[in-house]
Structure formats: C-alpha cells, structure tokens
Structure 1
Amino acid sequence: MFAIECHEVCKTFQDGNWWSKQRKQFKAVDHVSFQVPKGEVFGLLGTNGSGKSTLIRMLSTLLLPDSGSVRIMGLDIEASAMEVRRLINRVAVDAAFFKKLSAWENLSYSARLYGIHPGQNRERIVGILTRLGLKEAKLHDSIEDMSRGMQQKVAIARALIAVPPVLLLDEPTTGLDPVSKREVRNFIREVRQDHATSILLTTHDMQEAEELCDRIAIMSEGRLVKVGSMEVLRAAAAKTHEEKQTLGLEEIFFRLTGKSIHEEGMTYVS
C-alpha cells in the first residue's frame, strides 16, 4: 500500500464569468499519475499555474477530481473523505487563522480538535515552535500582529501538533527569510526521520527540492513532465556524460519544460 496514489487524475475549470456564453474550459490537472511510498518525501515542482496547488487540494479532499482516482493510505478520497482527513494535514501558503487570537490560542484550539490532552498542549506547542525558531514570548502575540514569516511558522506548527501519516506541504517556506527557511527544512527532516511521515512538498525553491526530496515530479501546464530522483532527472536532461553528474535542478527544469521558474510566475524561452 502506498501513502499517496494518483491515477489518471483530471480537473477542469471554466474560465470567465458564469453568465458568459464565451466561457472556455482549461485543464488545471491533466491525466496525472504517480505513487508515493510510505516514508518518502515527494516533491512537486512547477511554475505558477502548473497545477500543483489544484492537485494538492484534491489530495486534501478540498476538491474532487473530474476523473481518475486519488487514494491516501489506500482510502479513496471520495468514498472515504472523513477517514482520509484524519490521516492528513496540510500547510498552505494562504493558511487561515483566527486573526484576533494569539498564536497560543490558535494552536491550543487545533490541539483540542486533534484530541490532544490539555496537559500536553503547552509542552508540545512550545517544543515545535522552539525547533522552528519562534520564541516562547511570541506565543501570546495576536496572529494579525505577526509578520508573514512568523504566521507561516505557526501554520507549520499547527500541522505538526498531531503528526499525521501523510503531510501535505504547499510551499511551506514562502515568505520566510533564509534563516527561517533553514529551520523549517531541518524540522521537516526531523519529522520524517522520527515519525516516518510521508510528505508531499510543492515548491518553487530548487534548493529546497534538492535538499529535502527523495524524488521530484516536474509539472507543467497540468501534466507531469518527468518523475524521479535527481539522478533520473539529470539523465533525462543531460547532454553530456559530465552533466549527468553535475546538472542542477534549475537547468533540468529549464530543459525538460522549456521554461524558467520564478516566484512571480513563468518565463517562456525559445
């Protein structure tokens, strides 16, 4: 049994206003298939609009596929949605909070939802935030008064209060400074090693993908272009024997998709 299984998954959206006669359809996810073994960190790399976030929303049961199938720990996301939700947690770049409440209040509320005993809350919350580089003194600051980076750390802590079998990380380090990025990456490694958690990571960050992922799926225009370890990806993109040993992920992405990747979007190349 795999932690995550996608088979020929498709998702189409309508472009334009609902009342328009000229509405066009576009496929955000187009016949995507892959499997993630238990305990693997699987990276999903693509530009804005490539379908990464749509796919991760389907994995987290927030969207349903138009066709194909998605399974989490052997459970179909449509037939067993509630059971799937108990097995996953998701960190999104647009994480939602009770903004007027403090980080402590938000995290305590989440801990209660996960059934964690109130006596364990503080120790667990402080432990996670300390490892993420957020000082205990900041626990009682309201979320709305926190920086974007601090809010993202609280979002990551919330997802890890109850370590799930499957963790879905949708651009978890977006908005973080270099030091905070390093702290988050180290913590992701710890979670994987200590709990054998299966992790799907979407990112724009080439270094992050190379450092954390066992395998990487390159996604472009809703399709998977190539899936494999760095060795497999280098072999697919290399033009010489030397490049098979040295080619970086950015150049691999460039060659396999014909695009270069940027935080603000995509650039087509001839």
Structure 2
Amino acid sequence: MTDVTKTFTLRRRTRGRLRRERTTLDAVDGVSFTVPRGEFLGYLGPNGAGKSTTIKMLTGILTPTSGRVRVAGLDPSRSRTALARRIGVVFGQRTTLWWDLPLKDSLTLVRRLYRVEETAYRARLAELTALLELEPFLATPVRQLSLGQRMRGDLAAALLHGPELLVLDEPTIGLDVVSKATVRGFLARLNAERGTTILLTTHDLGDIERLCRRVLIIDHGRTAFDGDLAALRRTAGADRQLVVELAAPGPPVELDGVPVTDVEGPRQTLRLPDGANAASVVAALAARYEIRDIALRETGIEEIIARLYRGDR
C-alpha cells in the first residue's frame, strides 16, 4: 500500500435549506505500509481512524481515491475473484457461515465456493478440526453455536482453501477467557508453523501483546506509528517502576539516578531511568536496605497507546 487515500463525499441537509450541503471526509490520508510474507501485524487505531476503510481497500470491497494497493501481487479492486482465492477474511461481528445449517455442511459449501479439491479439503478439515477443537459441534446448526464456537468455525471457513494471507477484524470480540486463549494459540501456531501472513485489527490489546511482533497505528487517517512493541514503548515515553516493600516505614530511599515517586508506609515506588538495569538497581537497594518484597511494573500497552492517541511523548 503506497500513499493511499480514500475520500468520501457526505451530503447533509442544513436548517432552512432545501438543498443538501456537500462535504468531504478523508477516511484514509496518505497511508503507506508493506507487510512481508509471514509477518503477524497488529493494525490499531481509535474508532473512526480509518482501519475498516483500509481493510476494505485491501480486500477489494472499496477502491482507493488515489495511491497504489497491491495484495499478493494483485490489484484488489480489479482482481477480487482471483484475490479471494489467495486470502482469508474473518470479521468478528459477522459470520460467513450459513445460519441454519450444521457447521460441517457450512464448511462443505465453503469448499465448493472455493473449488477446493476433495482430498485437499478432507486433509485441511481434519487438521483444522483438531487444531480448533471443532469435533464436538460439527453437527450443530450454526445458530445454536456459542460465540466462541462460531468464531472457531469462521476461522476454519477462512482457511479451508489454504490462503497465504489471513485478515482478521476483531476476532476475539466478546469471547470468554478460554475461547480467547484457544483462538490466540491457534493463530500463533498458524503463523509460526505455516508461515501464514496475518493482519489483525483489534481493540483487545491482549491480542497484540501475545501475538504481534509489529504494530501499525493509524489515527485520523494517517500513520501514527509503525514498529515493534519495544519501539512503541520508547515513542510513547513508557517508563518502568520498581515497587519496593521495606521491612519498616521510613524516608524515601536514596539511590543515584533512581528517583522515588511515591511513598506509602513501607512501600516505595521508584522510577527506573531509560536503559537502567533493573537487576543492578535491586542489588544496590538490597545492599543498603532490608527488603521484604519487590516487583517490577511496566506501563501497560493500553496506557501507551492512549498516550500516542493523545499526542503525548
């Protein structure tokens, strides 16, 4: 994707006028990025940032106003049928399965849509059934499946034809802890063992921390960050804190270059400077003070991304 824009024309009726006023909205404004084969990319942004518009251009649903989009070497808007055979798409709030059919029958129809050869279909279905634990509900109508079961069924449907790219939009939304763990474990294995390229959009930042090596953040239609999680922490000014519980209450501990930010009885919080070795700081504290307990805390990914949205550095 190179210097891509997508502009929508909006018509609004103004008070006291018969004609509607026409305005334009730049949903995506000059976004460029490349996803190498085999990468697991987290694509983030607040509501209205342009994530869904980007996904729709990548899958051929929308045509960019300007710029160049290529997926698997194809122009998505001009080669939708050819592209559909090379990618899989899962939207967490919509299903591609047939509501009144048993899950297995839905998957059989998907196989026919993609014209997957019978032997390949049986092998993939058996593998996906084992990895996603589908066996107990293959005969259950889709409308009777739990949200977690349906999501696993949608993942199987998206992968039956062996796509090289998997696009996921909120795949764990509404899932319980066990179902999330199952889906996350499957996606991690799919990427690591099969080399499937995965593009993930989500508001569940636990997905990002556990799955993605690279994060791309879009805000107001423009790229706000592109890099790994360590670089994101540095960009947003994330800090590390050392929480120390002393044997007894006392004045703030004194250690060169390590300020105390909070004292509450015997518990004191120290801010570690950038590049500081936590083990060395702990050793220096233990040599001078009697310590009962100690914990290292890092700024959570939610706070880091919130800072980036606010423009904090």
Q: In structure 2, do the counterparts of structure 1 residues 124 and 32 end up closer, same or farther at CA, with 3 Å as the change threshold?
A: same
CA displacement at 1:119 relative to structure 2: 4.8
Q: Deviations over 1:185-223 (max 9, x none)?
A: 111111112221111100111111111111101122222
Q: Which moved more, 1:53-62 or 1:7-16?
A: 7-16
CA displacement at 1:126 relative to structure 2: 4.5
Partners of 2:9 and 2:96 lie apart in 1 by 26
SS for the counterpart of 2:193 is helix
Q: Is the 8 A contact 1:238 1:244 kept in 2?
A: no
Q: Which moved more, 1:78-87 or 1:101-110?
A: 78-87
Q: How does 1:85-234 map to 2 (within 5 A)?
A: 85-93=84-92, 94-119=94-119, 121-122=121-122, 124-134=124-134, 136-234=135-233
Partners of 1:162 and 1:217 lie apart in 2 by 28
CA displacement at 1:132 relative to structure 2: 2.1
Q: Give the % identical residues.
A: 38
CA displacement at 1:67 relative to structure 2: 0.9
SS for the counterpart of 2:151 is helix
Q: How many correspondences in the alignment?
A: 254
Q: In structure 2, do the counterparts of structure 1 residues 124 and 65 end up closer, same or farther at CA, with 3 Å as the change threshold?
A: same
Q: Deviations over 1:3-33 (max 9, x none)?
A: xxx1111112234569961243222212111
Q: In structure 2, do the counterparts of structure 1 residues 243 and 105 end up closer, same or farther at CA, with 3 Å as the change threshold?
A: farther
Q: In structure 2, do the counterparts of structure 1 residues 115 and 243 end up closer, same or farther at CA, with 3 Å as the change threshold?
A: farther
Partners of 1:168 and 1:239 lie apart in 2 by 29
SS for the counterpart of 1:182 is helix
Partners of 1:178 and 1:38 lie apart in 2 by 30
Partners of 1:20 and 1:243 lie apart in 2 by 60
Q: In structure 2, do the counterparts of structure 1 residues 102 and 8 end up closer, same or farther at CA, with 3 Å as the change threshold?
A: same
Q: Which moved more, 1:164-173 or 1:8-17?
A: 8-17
Aligned to 1:13: 8
Say whether 1:258 aligns with 2:253: no
Aligned to 1:249: 301
Partners of 1:251 and 1:69 lie apart in 2 by 34
Q: In structure 2, do the counterparts of structure 1 residues 97 and 24 end up closer, same or farther at CA, with 3 Å as the change threshold?
A: farther
Partners of 1:183 and 1:60 lie apart in 2 by 26
Q: Is the 8 A contact 2:238 2:304 kept in 1?
A: no
The AA in structure 2 aligned to 1:12 is T
The AA in structure 2 aligned to 1:148 is L
Q: In structure 2, do the counterparts of structure 1 residues 102 and 218 end up closer, same or farther at CA, with 3 Å as the change threshold?
A: same
Q: In structure 2, do the counterparts of structure 1 residues 243 and 213 end up closer, same or farther at CA, with 3 Å as the change threshold?
A: farther
Partners of 1:163 and 1:243 lie apart in 2 by 47
RMSD: 2.5
Higher-Rg structure is 2
With normalisation by structure 2, the TM-score equals 0.74
With normalisation by structure 1, the TM-score equals 0.85
Partners of 2:131 and 2:208 lie apart in 1 by 21
Q: Is the 8 A contact 2:60 2:78 kept in 1?
A: no
Q: In structure 2, do the counterparts of structure 1 residues 48 and 133 end up closer, same or farther at CA, with 3 Å as the change threshold?
A: farther
Q: Is the 8 A contact 1:42 1:213 kept in 2?
A: yes
Partners of 1:250 and 1:175 lie apart in 2 by 18
Instruction: Extract unaligned runs of 5+ from structure 1.
Output: 1-5, 260-268
